[in-house]
Structure 1
Amino acid sequence: MSDHATDPATETFVAHRNLLFTVAYELLGSAADAEDVLQETWLRWIRVDLGQVRDERAYLVRITTRQALNRLRAMRRRKEAYVGPWLPEPLLTAPDVAEDVELAESVSMALMLVLETLSPTERAVFVLHEAFDVSYDEIAAAVDKSPAAVRQIAHRARQHVDARRPREVVSPRVTRAVLESFQRAVETRDLRGLLDVLAPEVVLVSDGGGVKHAALRPIVGAEKVVRFIAGGLGRTEGVVTSGPTTANGSPALVVRLDGEVDGVMAIRVEDGRITGLYYVRNPEKLTRVERETPLTRR
């Protein structure tokens, strides 16, 4: 694209690139697939007669959504063959993402995992309307449905998500404090302290992709989670360390084994305790945890 630096199509695409990436990522949960969608969007965009485009942002979002939907449907087959639970790819994000409460919630590991339970069309409608404030008419054009049908889909998707999303919006400060207590308990092998910071009904989901050791099913219950963590630490050969980071707009931990990134731990906090632990170990999903990925709703 550098050969067309002054081309109006290129300038417009570059101006909206971070938005388009954010849309694709929220629909797919994969940065690599989101980048592929952006490439496909670009190839279609440069063939468009800009003189016929009234709203360039809306048009680009429409192309991106259509390409992401095609890829999302294809990804379902990949996920069916995936070894163990599938978690979204964690992204190292800048402080401005955390400051935008709506954006931070929409890319949080907890909510994106809920979005996995929607159909591709439901997910597109929910994400575009709730996270990016796209009108029903524009969404209808993107998903090839009538505006009336889109309204029904949006209502159904919102009910589904509201029944499963966290009950409260927790500030980064509170999440960070809970995460520090969890980190301290793990590092000191304080099993009692670990039980204190975990909610009784806590769920741990670990994603190794069949490459790294991980639980093949979610682990439910504080005592079972503590046993799993203690067992994993006991089997590990090497020096395990962890440090704070910001992943998907929320405080998280980067776990290292002998200095090399081994995984990213994100949490869901409710009533001051951890109700969800999300540990991504699949190396293919850890390529963006040491450099910031710009995300935006605008």
Structure 2
Amino acid sequence: MPEDPPAGSAECAEAGRDASRALDAVMAERHRLLSLAFRMTGTLADAEDVVQETYARWYRLEPGKRDGIAVPAAWLTRVASRICLDLLGSARARRETYIGQWLPEPVPADLFADTARVPLNSGPPAADPLERVTLDDAVSMALLTVLEAMTPAERVTFVLHDVFGVPFDEIAGVVGRSAAATRQLATSARRHVRHRRRTQVSSHQHDEVVRAFRDATVGGDIEELLRVLAPDVELRVDGGGFVNAATQVVHGPDRVARWLMGVMRKQPALRLERRDTADGLGYLLRDGGRRYGMVTFDVGEGHVTHVWLMLNPTKLTNWPLD
């Protein structure tokens, strides 16, 4: 006859299954944490570092303390946010040594789809939806560049509250302010965002203008390109020191058009391939079998208002050649 299992073996097995389920639940938060950290830092490399350090801190906890955390997702979110806050505090000093202009990293439209719809806090969703900015997409270059103009505390507060729905009393513990002061940080951050969104157009209008931009640029029609560009258009290029690029912002339609035409003349093999970005239609710049860059746009009132050209290869890893 088979021997009876040792006493307590069933309990041990069940405890093992519980531990495995708990681990799965914690690891299931990774993509959402990466989404949050990317919105706060602007690059996937920094976001990956934040998430890695967050999990390292989780596993350094004593088992008893880990078991006592009622909502691991909320704990992970708070820790990741504090790490981002510290990182943002040192980012400006690090960028003083950055060669040329620094831009956030452009990402595909669906990279973080549906990661910011469910709040990560331990309580109900934030109770003041009328005080939140409605975001169609929180990882566009248009918004990320606005976030860059915020203070670290404003940025962390805005992302946690307006994107992830975390209440102010919980955010206060992250940024080291009172709930009232944290609410003021969010109000200030929203002013930046709403100012940008005054000229926002539909996705159809955006893509129509961008296609006209592409046709004029590829066709070498500078007059048509000038008609597509807004009077106050700006071109920003991030080469990261890896590629020769404009070290200063290029202002005005005439200078922007001539700069772009100069690139096309110097790179006759360059091809612009359609890609769906978080801003709408964008183009992968391809030179034969080499990924050269990624260009994304902001459009307002029928004209291109901002051209963001990413040439830094470390910020192009999510744009494979088809």
Name the structure 1 match of 2:278. 248
1:213 to 211, 228, 244: 244
TM-score normalised to the size of structure 2? 0.82
Q: Does 10-19 or 34-43 show the bigger shift? A: 10-19
Name the structure 1 match of 2:206. 175
Q: Is the 8 A contact 1:266 1:277 kept in 2?
A: yes
Runs of 4+ in 1 over 3 A off after TM superposition: 95-98, 100-105
More relative contact order, 1 or 2 (CA 8 Å, 6+ apart): 1
Give the Cα separation in 1 of the matches to 2:269 and 2:25.
Answer: 48
Q: Deviations over 1:135-167 (max 9, x none)?
A: 10111122222212211222222223333x231
Residue identity matched to 1:57: A
Q: Is the 8 A contact 2:88 2:152 kept in 1?
A: yes
CA RMSD of aligned residues (A): 2.4
Per the alignment, in what secondary structure is the counterpart of residue 29 of structure 2?
helix
Give the Cα separation in 2 of the matches to 1:77 and 1:135.
Answer: 31
Per the alignment, in what secondary structure is the counterpart of residue 202 of structure 1?
strand
Instruction: Please state if 1:157 is matched with 2:184.
Output: no
Q: Deviations over 1:56-101 (max 9, x none)?
A: 3222110110111222223222211112211011222328849x99
Instruction: Please state if 1:202 is matched with 2:233.
Output: yes
Q: Is the 8 A contact 2:233 2:306 kept in 1?
A: yes
Note the residue ranges of structure 2 that are not aligned, 5 or more in a row: 1-16, 118-132
Instruction: Please state if 1:166 is matched with 2:197.
Output: yes
Residue identity matched to 2:251: V
Instruction: Please state if 1:276 is matched with 2:316.
Output: no
Per the alignment, in what secondary structure is the counterpart of residue 211 of structure 2?
helix
Q: Is the 8 A contact 2:216 2:222 kept in 1?
A: yes
Name the structure 2 match of 1:51. 67
Give the Cα separation in 2 of the matches to 1:33 and 1:174.
Answer: 33
Number of residue pairs matched?
Answer: 285
Give the Cα separation in 2 of the matches to 1:137 and 1:152.
Answer: 13
Note the residue ranges of structure 1 that are not aligned, 5 or more in a row: 292-298
Residue identity matched to 1:80: E
**Structure with greater Cα Rg:** 2
Instruction: Please state if 1:65 is matched with 2:81.
Output: yes
Instruction: Please state if 1:289 is matched with 2:289.
Output: no
Give the Cα separation in 1 of the matches to 2:39 and 2:248.
Answer: 24
Residue identity matched to 2:69: V
Shift of 1:39: 0.6
Name the structure 1 match of 2:24. 11
